[in-house]
Chains A and B, each alone.
Chain A
Amino acid sequence: MVTLLVRILWSDLLIFFRRAREWLYPLGFFIIVLSLFPLAMTPDPFLLQTLAPGIIWIAALLASLLALENIFVSDMEAGFIEQLLLNAHPLSLLLTVKIIAHWLVAEMPLILLMPLLGWWFHLSFAVSGMLMITLLLGTPIFSLLGMLGVALTLGLRSQGALLGLLILPLMVPVLVFGVGTVQQYMAGLPVLGNVAFLAGLLLATGCGLPLAIAAALRISLDE
């Protein structure tokens, strides 16, 4: 069982790295969106500092939305997904591994970029660190919710737009708590409760959503 999970993780990572667009496009998109704000608004360091948490979170949210469409592409193109379904192992577990692979490829680079972006937006090192922590807890939830949306809309035309309509509202609480935590931290307020809440949200979605994703996938492929 463990060898199978490792094999699936490894295969997915291998495919993602062979197709650089899967991780390079969201990353490039993220950086470009972020660079638009100082250009379009004002390069005033104080204003950028106050806006930075919100801007970075929204850009991360949009970048993860962009990356979602690829999540099942490598499985759908030659019908491998049927082999995943027709399997003695619990599908939700296999899908959890796929979500981890996707998160490592599509979201992890954004988080690793955070110290650089913090410098860009005149944030202190500690605030960048807090941004990293909240994103580390928040972006896996984006991946989980996104995968649910993808599983529900699999095989539909103009999947992208519907996907946004479907899952963006669900991502709002994560956004609110993520940005709120960083802002409170900047104002010198205690944030442990908020961080714990985000972690709890991640645990709850991480336990529950793979089951829902597996069910949605079976329904989507039941023609």
Chain B
Amino acid sequence: MLSLQVRQLTCVRGQKILSRNIHFELSSGDLLLIEGRNGSGKTSLLRQLAALSTTETGRILWRGQDIHTCYPHYWQHLHYLGHSHGIKLGLTIEENLKLMASLAEMPISLSCQDAILQQLNLHTYQHTLAADLSAGQKRRLALARLWLIHKPLWILDEPLTALDRDSQALFLHHLDQHLTTGGMCILSSHSSLPVVPLVILRLPQW
């Protein structure tokens, strides 16, 4: 059973404290939606949860273990997708996926890759440099990583930006599948999600 516990976390950006005493607990199949206005600290909180920024007060426990004591183990189970796409613009789609697969040390089967790229309408661009893709296509490539390399915890910052209606629906379908197979997801979004989030965390406005 997977679990992520966050205790007494303080969200800080620069020198400014944005919110105190953030407290929640997620287990398999849970979805946490982080809501808040611009500047309320959603991205800062997500970066803290991904252990990209240091946590000064509070604790984050992954499977009951403080993540400070087991970063590599935690990151092995984590997909983080921030505002930027996390891809290399100088590589083609295929080379990007290969690089991501070797970073995660999880080989991607060719049939899976073809199927997902087909769903994302990227199959004709396999040998196109990521730099030549549109913003929406880059986003879709970033999402392909989540679906091709299976990891239990997703931390997504505004995953729906730049996506068209079909891709949004596809994303929600895959999110649903991820949750029903025992994964968990923390995401921030401004557009309303048709799936009912099990937990909503509202950050206070500053």
Contacts and interface: CB of A to CB of B under 8 A. Distances in A.
A78 B99 contact: no
Contacts of B52: 82, 85-86, 221-222
Contacts of A221: 52
Contact of A8 (B99, B129, B130): B99
B88 A15 contact: yes
A159 interface: no
B187 to A, nearest CB: 16
B91 A87 contact: no
B103 interface: yes
B36 interface: no
A14 B52 CA distance: 28
Interface in A75-94: 75, 77-80, 82-89
A37 to B, nearest CB: 35
B77 to A, nearest CB: 9
A74 B83 contact: no
B87 A80 contact: yes
B33 to A, nearest CB: 22
A157 interface: no
Contact of B89 (A1, A7, A14, A77): A77
A14 B100 contact: no
A152 to B, nearest CB: 17
Contact of A14 (B13, B14, B95, B130): B95
Contact of A11 (B47, B54, B91, B105): B91
B91 A82 contact: no
B85 A19 contact: no
B175 to A, nearest CB: 20
B148 to A, nearest CB: 14
Most buried by B among A8, A82, A86, A89: A86
A14 B90 contact: yes
A222 B75 contact: no
Nearest to A74: B90
A13 B44 CA distance: 33
B89 A88 contact: no
Interface string A61-105: 000000000000011011110111111110000000000000000
Interface in B133-172: 138
A4 interface: yes
Given A78-B86, A78-B130, 17 more contacts: A4-B102, A4-B105, A11-B88, A11-B91, A11-B95, A14-B90, A78-B89, A79-B82, A79-B84, A79-B87, A82-B52, A83-B80, A86-B51, A87-B103, A88-B72, A89-B103, A223-B44
12 contacts: A4-B103, A82-B84, A83-B80, A83-B86, A84-B103, A86-B51, A87-B103, A88-B72, A88-B76, A221-B52, A223-B13, A223-B44
